[in-house]
């Protein structure tokens, strides 16, 4: 961070993702579990986990008409009829709401996304960075009082 910054509230990550089975015998794989951890690294180098969230991608359908659906908390009904299977190689855009957090980030500190170890989660999950595809994390920044 270029200055002392307060991050307080809901965090949302938008990712353009796809699945490509690593093992040819798992070609029928129709789902992905996406685990996100937002962390903070102070200037001292000490990592601090801020918030986590996970999403089973087949349950990604957002109910945009629900009054509880906001840009910072996409609303899902989690009905069995809402399941959307994945096809290998197909790119899907998903919004993952990360639990609300609060941190005062000092000047020089960094906010980072932390990956899970490959040994625990086999397979090839891809994040796509191409024209027309969006990948971002929204952070609720609180302004300093003057």
Percent of the chain at pLDDT exceeding 90: 27
Closest CA to 102 of 40, 17, 22, 43: 40
Which tokens go with 24?
């040819």
Q: What pLDDT is stored for residue 9 in this prediction?
A: 92
Q: Does the pLDDT value for residue 22 go beyond 70?
A: no
Q: Does the pLDDT value for residue 120 go beyond 60?
A: no
Write down the pTM of the prediction.
0.79
Q: Does the pLDDT value for residue 143 go beyond 90?
A: no
Q: Does the pLDDT value for residue 135 go beyond 60?
A: yes
Q: What pLDDT is stored for residue 27 in this prediction?
A: 53
Q: What pLDDT is stored for residue 113 in this prediction?
A: 72
pLDDT in tens, 25-77: 555 557 788 888 888 888 888 888 889 888 888 889 999 999 999 888 899 99
Across the chain, mean pLDDT equals 83
E strand residue ranges, the chain:
5-20, 33-41, 47-56, 92-105, 110-114, 124-127, 136-138, 141-142
Q: Angle at CA 86, nearest 5°, toward 83 and 89?
A: 165
Q: What pLDDT is stored for residue 20 in this prediction?
A: 74
Q: What pLDDT is stored for residue 21 in this prediction?
A: 62
Q: What pLDDT is stored for residue 121 in this prediction?
A: 57
Find the mean pLDDT for residues 17-31. Answer: 66
């Amino acid at each position: 961070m270029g200055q002392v910054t307060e991050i307080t509230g809901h965090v949302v990550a938008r990712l353009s993702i796809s699945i490509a089975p690593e093992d040819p015998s798992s070609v029928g794989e129709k789902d992905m579990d996406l685990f996100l951890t937002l962390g903070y690294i102070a200037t001292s180098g000490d990592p601090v986990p801020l918030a986590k969230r996970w999403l089973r991608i087949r349950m990604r359908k957002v109910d945009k008409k629900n009054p509880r659906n906001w840009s910072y908390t996409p609303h899902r009904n989690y009905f069995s009829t809402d399941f959307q299977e994945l096809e290998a190689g197909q790119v899907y855009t998903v919004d993952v709401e990360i639990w609300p957090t609060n941190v005062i980030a000092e000047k020089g500190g960094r906010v980072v996304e932390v990956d899970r170890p490959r040994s625990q989660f086999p397979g090839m999950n891809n994040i796509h960075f191409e024209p027309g595809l969006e990948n971002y994390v929204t952070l609720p920044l609180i302004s300093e009082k003057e």
